[in-house]
Structure 1
Amino acid sequence: MEKLAIGTRMNATTNKFWKNKQVLVTGGAGFVGSWLNYELAVQGAGVVSLDLKPKRFLGEPYDNLLKKVLYVQGDVRDTKLLQTLFTTHKIDTVFHLAASALVGEVLADPAEALDTNIMGTVRVLEEARKHHGVHVIVASSDKAYGPQKTLPYTEDFSLNGEYHPYDCSKSCADQITRMYAQVYKLSTTLARCGNIYGGGDLHFSRLIPGTIQTMLQGKPIELRSDGSYLRDYIYVQDAVSAYLCLAENLTNGKITGEAFNFGNNNPLRVLEVVNAISKLMDKQDLKPIILNNAKNEILNQYLDSSKSNRVLGWKPQYGIEDGLKETISWYKRYSQTI
């Protein structure tokens, strides 16, 4: 098994697959997009990163390679900009990660979130349709499933995301993606990941970065929920390997239009995650403050990733303890730079 810069993949190919590929990453200045940019640069791809936000780096030792990425600041819904990027850079693979995903922002402005997440996906797929041979990997989410009567979620479950604007946007974008595959034979596939965590996520309203940040400050974390919510957590480097694995398998045409779940096969309750972090940071004295004011969120939600293992040969390489150790280490380094 080949050792990659950010982890391992069960079906890891040599760097030759990505050598000189021309790749567009939407949402490339975000948390997951930055790690994806890095790994693509490691493997020799030409990377164009499109994001509303300016470029940002992950700190040493990653920044030298990230400097090779072409950062373009713009909106994924800008049709003319997409046309220019596809044509000028002869894009052959797209990772569509751009989305409005923060719970507070989505609830405060659902129209903008729906437009970004749904029409942004349409614009990317439509531009890819106009360019023969382009492969598109759409980053979906376990939230696309909405509430279900049985667990874990499998890919054949219906999409019931009508109880939250973010969930709804992901359900809609998934259906649109599959329509482009069915009707227009566009080479595209969907990655439905659990909650992605890792170094580089500066949205401290999220559970794991928020908990680490407050504990580094010697404060207890405030929890929006009652702490009993059950979720699937996947380390960012495993998520990146999942995206790359999908792209590498998409070229043979056998998974076009299909969705794949990617999780850690070890769902945890919110309080379990907080307790794991406090133990690793030796901060067990900082007991969480339970606000219990979360609204319209699903109580229990986790994925069955067996299809990804069976069809793609993918499996996660980081358990929660190893992933949290890496994550805490990153934030400790980051805290020394601000």
Structure 2
Amino acid sequence: MMVLHRGKFGNRALSIYDKNILVTGATGLLGNHFSSHLSKNNCNFKALALDDDYVPSYKNLYPEINLNFIDIAEIDKLKTFISSNKFDIIYHFAAQTQVGDAIENPIRTFKSNIEGTWNLLEVCRKQNIPMVIASSDKAYGISDILPYKEDFELKGEFPYEVSKSVTDLLANTYKKTYNQNLVTLRCGNIYGGGDLNWERLIPGVIKWLLENKTPILRSDGSYIRDWVYVDDVVMAYIEVGKKLIENKVAAPSYNFSSSDNYSVDYVYRKICELIKGEYIEPEFKITSEKEIPSQYLDSSLIENDLNVVAKVNLDEGLEKTIKWYKDYLKL
């Protein structure tokens, strides 16, 4: 009989929750929600982070999670840490995720996103540890055909996109060459409470509106994106990891999103409506010329193969997110 474990997302097979897990990038939006979920389910896991300015805020939000400060670009330290802990599975979320920062500092982005990934791949290859690797719809680059499907060419053009394309290609190389047990998950724009990067659209606009300030948009609002709530993404990673260690993952990569494909302007207006009850004229500071105009994912493969489906629509997700920031900012 299959033993079940009750957690935030309901009953889940113990085949993932009783494993020794490593989470990289634990102070990012996805990494902190994922680590918090593991903690609430009394899992045995380690969380990796860089010792940077974001960590104090993270510690205040998630005091129950003990962070280990290791730069995954330093392979010797990484190898020693992983070999001494004997992990059953690794979730790789560590990355520099800001498009603007990638344009300003491509070397830092490539070092984090590309070198860090190949270091983990190599360590996991030699120690035979399964990996779930976080990727992005940005890996596909510009396409005349949408939505993106998993067999589309990976052809990023700008620094952040290229870093994600290369991450996926490295993972595919290790899977095909060494038959490594791994999978990449390409998600749309993840949002939710706990994101303290105020440069991002949703947390930034919410904070400005709650503080009665004029929001600043860095595009004309026409860009179309997939919007997926963070709890749905955590659920997807839990299920994919469970299937991976059961050797039930057939595809090397999966797309995952909510099919909520909306323009930046639509999302902005929706946040205004939910907080102020009316449209608030923003200030425009256009800085996003080097971005993909439209991108959204076809998630049918993961739905059919693994029965993983996003459940939270944009309205519900934004309401939950706004409530989180109201509580956090005490407004």
* Equivalent AA in structure 2 for residue 181 of structure 1: K
User: How much does 1:5 deviate?
Assistant: 4.7
Aligned residues: 324
Bigger drift between 274-283 and 184-193 goes to: 274-283
CA contact (8 A) 1:85 1:91 kept: no
1:107 paired residue number: 103
Deviations 1:90-142 (Å, cap 9, x if unpaired)?
1111111111111222111101111211010001111111112x110000000
* Equivalent AA in structure 1 for residue 141 of structure 2: G
Rounded Cα–Cα distance in structure 2 between residues aligned with 1:70 and 1:178: 32
SS in structure 2 of the partner of residue 234 of structure 1: strand
1:20 paired residue number: 18
Aligned partner of 2:86 among 90, 93, 109: 90
Aligned partner of 2:289 among 278, 284, 295: 295
CA contact (8 A) 1:194 1:233 kept: yes
SS in structure 1 of the partner of residue 148 of structure 2: coil
Q: Is residue 124 of structure 1 aligned with residue 110 of structure 2?
A: no
With over 3 angstroms needed to count, the CA separation of the structure-2 counterparts of 1:74 and 1:331, relative to structure 1, is: same
* Equivalent AA in structure 2 for residue 109 of structure 1: N
User: How much does 1:39 deviate?
Assistant: 1.2
User: How much does 1:58 deviate?
Assistant: 6.8
Q: Is residue 192 of structure 1 aligned with residue 191 of structure 2?
A: no
SS in structure 2 of the partner of residue 238 of structure 1: helix
SS in structure 1 of the partner of residue 114 of structure 2: helix
SS in structure 1 of the partner of residue 286 of structure 2: coil
Rounded Cα–Cα distance in structure 1 between residues aligned with 2:77 and 2:323: 38
Aligned partner of 1:153 among 148, 156, 167: 148
Deviations 1:181-209 (Å, cap 9, x if unpaired)?
11111110001000000001111111100
User: How much does 1:44 deviate?
Assistant: 3.1
2:67 paired residue number: 71
With over 3 angstroms needed to count, the CA separation of the structure-2 counterparts of 1:58 and 1:244, relative to structure 1, is: farther
User: How much does 1:4 deviate?
Assistant: 6.4
Structure 1 residues 176-215: aligned runs within 5 Å: 176-215=170-209
Bigger drift between 76-85 and 234-243 goes to: 76-85
Cα RMSD (Å) of the superposition? 1.9
Rounded Cα–Cα distance in structure 2 between residues aligned with 1:156 and 1:315: 20
Q: Is residue 35 of structure 1 aligned with residue 33 of structure 2?
A: yes
User: How much does 1:220 deviate?
Assistant: 2.4
CA contact (8 A) 1:28 1:98 kept: yes
SS in structure 2 of the partner of residue 292 of structure 1: coil
Rounded Cα–Cα distance in structure 1 between residues aligned with 2:60 and 2:274: 22
Rounded Cα–Cα distance in structure 1 between residues aligned with 2:40 and 2:211: 34
With over 3 angstroms needed to count, the CA separation of the structure-2 counterparts of 1:95 and 1:45, relative to structure 1, is: same
Structure 1: runs of 5 or more not aligned:
none
Rounded Cα–Cα distance in structure 2 between residues aligned with 1:139 and 1:39: 17
Q: Which TM-score applies when normalising by structure 1?
A: 0.91
SS in structure 1 of the partner of residue 127 of structure 2: coil
CA contact (8 A) 1:18 1:44 kept: no
Bigger drift between 221-230 and 191-200 goes to: 221-230
Aligned partner of 2:328 among 316, 331, 334: 334
Rounded Cα–Cα distance in structure 1 between residues aligned with 2:87 and 2:81: 7
User: How much does 1:87 deviate?
Assistant: 1.9
With over 3 angstroms needed to count, the CA separation of the structure-2 counterparts of 1:322 and 1:208, relative to structure 1, is: same
1:311 paired residue number: 305
Rounded Cα–Cα distance in structure 1 between residues aligned with 2:60 and 2:33: 8
Rounded Cα–Cα distance in structure 2 between residues aligned with 1:207 and 1:191: 23
User: How much does 1:217 deviate?
Assistant: 1.2
* Equivalent AA in structure 2 for residue 76 of structure 1: I
User: How much does 1:73 deviate?
Assistant: 1.1
Aligned partner of 2:230 among 226, 232, 236: 236
With over 3 angstroms needed to count, the CA separation of the structure-2 counterparts of 1:4 and 1:152, relative to structure 1, is: farther
Rounded Cα–Cα distance in structure 2 between residues aligned with 1:58 and 1:273: 29
User: How much does 1:57 deviate?
Assistant: 4.2
Identity of matched residues, %? 35
Rounded Cα–Cα distance in structure 2 between residues aligned with 1:21 and 1:58: 27
Q: Which TM-score applies when normalising by structure 2?
A: 0.93
* Equivalent AA in structure 2 for residue 32 of structure 1: L
Rounded Cα–Cα distance in structure 2 between residues aligned with 1:319 and 1:4: 24
CA contact (8 A) 1:93 1:136 kept: yes
SS in structure 1 of the partner of residue 81 of structure 2: helix
1:44 paired residue number: 42
* Equivalent AA in structure 2 for residue 234 of structure 1: V
SS in structure 2 of the partner of residue 40 of structure 1: helix
Deviations 1:43-101 (Å, cap 9, x if unpaired)?
33211111103362474xxx4xx62x431012111212222221222111111111111
SS in structure 1 of the partner of residue 67 of structure 2: strand
Displaced runs of 4 or more, over 6 A: none
Q: Is residue 80 of structure 1 aligned with residue 76 of structure 2?
A: yes
